[in-house]
Amino acid sequence: MRTYDFLIIGAGSAGCNIAHYLQKKGKKIAIADKEGVAGGGSGAAGAFLSPLPGKENLYNTFINNALLFSLKFYEELSPNAIVKKGVLRIANENFDNDKLEKNSIENRYYDSKELQEISHNFNKIEGYFYENAAILNPHEICKKLIEKCDFYQEDIQELVCEDDFYVFENFRAKNIILAQGVIKPLVKTPYMEISPIFGVKIDVKTTTHVPFNIHKSISISANRRDGLVAIGATKERHDTSKMECLTSCEKCDFYVNSEQGQIETLLREANELIKLENLEVAKIYRGARATIKSYFPVIGKAVNYEESLKKYPSIKNGTKIPPDLLEYFPNLYLMNALGSRGFVVAPYLAEFLGENILNNAKIPKELSSEQLFYKRARKNNP
Ligand SMILES: Cc1cc2nc3c(=O)[nH]c(=O)nc-3n(C[C@H](O)[C@H](O)[C@H](O)COP(=O)(O)OP(=O)(O)OC[C@H]3O[C@@H](n4cnc5c(N)ncnc54)[C@H](O)[C@@H]3O)c2cc1C
């Protein structure tokens, strides 16, 4: 039976990045996914890497630091899987021109005349151009990240721990990292309440040259290396706010019933920005982003919620119990809730989580699974 240091469950942006990080540090890694590599939300991603403008706060500072880190990381990892031509951001209801212009990120304003000089296909729009933005091929990136790990296409149904190892049919692993996206986690983590945001992205053929990415409420990519242009993505919640993903997106009634409308929305909104001539939809992608209320991703050790509260019920009343004393699922870690910018944040998060696992480095509070545990435990104070 093969023995691994780590089994990572989920081969999306999260799982593949942490697999890569730990493998580079000399660990023997297995990674499993029931849908194949990048078969979940990651395969549907734009995957646009864009800055988050606006007055500095904890969240956009995190995103913009992650962006700079990740751009460099991907360019070194797989230069052919990334096209870095910048993004033109157009004001919308969340970002007025003031917010786009006045922030710590360098940008350049283009009026509609200047844009029409670049391409007469631009509609009458104006916007702010940010240089540090790109588009990725998510499948190529994920495959590249795990090329030195063993991949198993398997649906992992349960975790059985025997003699300090998690044991599976064909292999065993000392540690587990759950990077399951919107799928119900294999252990109970009620403090990480994942809510899925579904979406559609399309690749289109067009004879129009698109000089850089354009973003308003949807994004249009510059022409990629394969000549296609990506348009994405819609953001839709199901009718019920809480639901589990029990089937793949292709078979899900939600997509079957609403996909055509979502594609029409993408094409209409794209057409308001730039006229894409001789347009033909080449491919449709469907997926779900895993988000939580705070918007920040979650990384760290998997706290055993029930056992920790059984041991220290006064946590509910605010008693400060240090993290070392909490109960944990043994050798089990979480990396999830990457939200709408999973490819922007994953390499940066992998570094934090990897250093925490290997060298006990501190995880920033806003990303920590333990902080989320305390928050949820205190919220439930009857
Ligand atoms: C339409 C759309 C557009 C997007 N656009 C962008 C973008 O432009 N830029 C950007 O940065 N991000 C974008 N995102 C967000 C990004 O894709 C996600 O944040 C990111 O993919 C999350 O990665 P993940 O690894 O956490 O989840 P996923 O990619 O969903 O991976 C989780 C995987 O775990 C597997 N799994 C779960 N449980 C099990 C089990 N028990 N056994 C085996 N396998 C299991 C699933 O099959 C799945 O493949 C977009 C997302 C969507 C849906």
Q: What is the pLDDT of residues 242-270, one digit of tens each?
A: 556 666 777 777 766 678 899 999 999 99
Shared-domain flag, residues 90 and 202: yes
Does a structural domain hold residue 113?
yes
Residue 94 has pLDDT above 90, yes or no: no
Q: Separation of 301 CA from ligand 1 center, angstroms?
A: 20
Nearest-CA residue for ligand 1 atom 18 is: 342
Shared domain for 356 and 214, answered yes or no, is: no
* Angstrom distance (rounded) from CA 146 to CA 150: 8
Q: Are 324 and 228 in contact (CB under 8 A)?
A: no
pLDDT digits (tens, 9 = 90+) for 336-379: 999 999 999 999 999 999 999 999 999 999 999 999 999 999 98
Atom from ligand 1 closest to the CA of residue 286: 1
Q: How far is the CA of 181 from the centre of ligand 1 (A)?
A: 5
Mean pLDDT of 265-288: 96
Domain shared by 147 and 101, yes or no:
no
Give residue 337 CA to ligand 1 midpoint distance, Å. 9
Predicted confidence at residue 245, as pLDDT, reads 66
Closest CA to 146 of 24, 34, 46: 24
Nearest CA among 379, 280, 369, 331 for reference residue 161: 331
In a domain, 64, yes or no: no
Q: What average pLDDT does the segment 167-184 reach?
A: 96
The alpha carbon of 229 and the centre of ligand 1 are apart by a number of angstroms equal to 21
Residue 244 Cα to ligand 1 midpoint, Å, equals 15
Using CA positions, which residue lies closest to atom 15 of ligand 1?
340
Query: Is the CB of residue 236 below 6 angstroms from any atom belonging to ligand 1?
Result: no
Please compute the mean of the pLDDT values over residues 289-295 and round it to a whole number.
94
Amino acid in position 85: K
Could you read off the pLDDT of 77-86 as tens digits, one per residue?
999 999 999 9
Residue-range definition of the domain harbouring residue 246 = 72-135+195-287
241 pLDDT exceeds 50? no
Q: Is residue 59 one of the residues assigned to a domain?
A: no
Tokens 């894409």 correspond to: 276
pLDDT over 80 at 198, yes or no: yes
Task: Give the lowest-confidence range in 70-79, 195-204, 244-253.
Answer: 244-253
**pLDDT value at 381 more than 70:** no
User: What's the whole-number mean pLDDT along residues 101-121?
Assistant: 94
Range in 6-20, 127-141, 227-241 the model is least confident about: 227-241
Ligand 1: which of 9, 21, 35, 42 to mutate, judged by most atoms within 8 Å of the beta carbon?
A: 42
What value does the mean pLDDT take over residues 77-100? 94
Residue 55 lies in a domain: no
Write the pLDDT tens digit of every residue in 296-333: 999 999 999 999 999 999 999 999 899 999 999 999 99
Tell me how far the alpha carbon of residue 8 lies from the centroid of ligand 1, in angstroms.
14
Residue 242 lies in a domain: yes
- Atom 22 of ligand 1, residue of closest alpha carbon: 342
Cα distance between residue 246 and residue 64, in whole Å: 34
Q: Where does residue 257 rank: exposed (0-12), middle (13-18), buried (19+ CB within 10 A)?
A: exposed
Residue of 9, 13, 82 to mutate, ligand 1, most atoms within 8 A of C-beta: 13
**Cβ(53) to ligand 1 under 6 A?**
no
Does 304 map to a domain? Answer: yes
- Residue 372 belongs to some domain of the structure: yes
The domain boundary, picked from 259, 287, 315, lies at 287
| CB 342 near ligand 1, within 6 Å | yes
- pLDDT reported for residue 259: 84
Q: Is the CB of 45 under 6 A from ligand 1?
A: yes
Instruction: For ligand 1, say whether the CB of 142 is within 6 Å of any of its atoms.
Output: no
- Asked if pLDDT for residue 169 goes beyond 70, the answer is yes
Number of separate domains in the chain: 2
- Looking at the structure, do residues 225 and 310 belong to the same domain, yes or no? no
At residue 278's C-alpha, the angle toward residues 275 and 281, to 5°, is: 95
CA 286 to ligand 1 centroid distance, Å: 11
Q: Where a domain ends, among 238, 264, 287?
A: 287
CB 270 within 8 A of CB 206: no
Angle in degrees, 0-180, between the axes of helices 138-145 and 13-24, rounded to the nearest 10: 30
What's the whole-number mean pLDDT along residues 272-277? Answer: 98
Q: Do 365 and 334 belong to one domain?
A: yes
Q: Could you tell me the distance, in angstroms and rounded to a whole number, from the CA of residue 330 to the centre of ligand 1?
A: 25
Q: Using the mean position of ligand 1's atoms as its centre, give its distance from the Cα of residue 44 in Å.
A: 8
- Retrieve residue 195's tokens: 């809510």
Q: Whose CA is nearest to atom 34 of ligand 1?
A: 10
Tokens of 379: 């919220």
> Is 228 found in the same domain as 170?
no
d(CA 124, CA 116): 8
**In one letter, which amino acid is 354?**
G
123-144 residue pLDDT tens? 999 999 999 999 999 999 999 9
Output the six-digit token pair for 178: 């759950």
Q: Assess whether 370 and 297 both reside in one domain.
A: yes
Q: What is the CATH number of the domain that holds 277?
A: 3.30.9.10
List, edge to edge, every strand of the sheet that includes 195-205.
Answer: 108-110, 127-130, 87-89, 213-215, 219-220, 229-232, 195-205, 280-291
Q: Does 52 map to a domain?
A: no
Is the pLDDT at 54 greater than 70, yes or no? yes
Task: Assess whether 211 and 109 both reside in one domain.
Answer: yes
Amino acid at position 68, single letter: L
Tell whether 224 and 174 lie within a shared domain: no
Whether residue 312 is found in the same domain as residue 367: yes
Please indicate, yes or no, whether residues 297 and 367 belong to a single structural domain of this protein. yes
CATH number for position 165: 3.50.50.60
| Ligand 1 touching residue 349 (CB < 6 A) | no
Among candidate residues 287, 308, 326, the one where a domain is terminated: 287
Pair (312, 187) in one structural domain = yes
Q: Which ligand 1 atom is the nearest neighbour of the CA of 14? A: 25
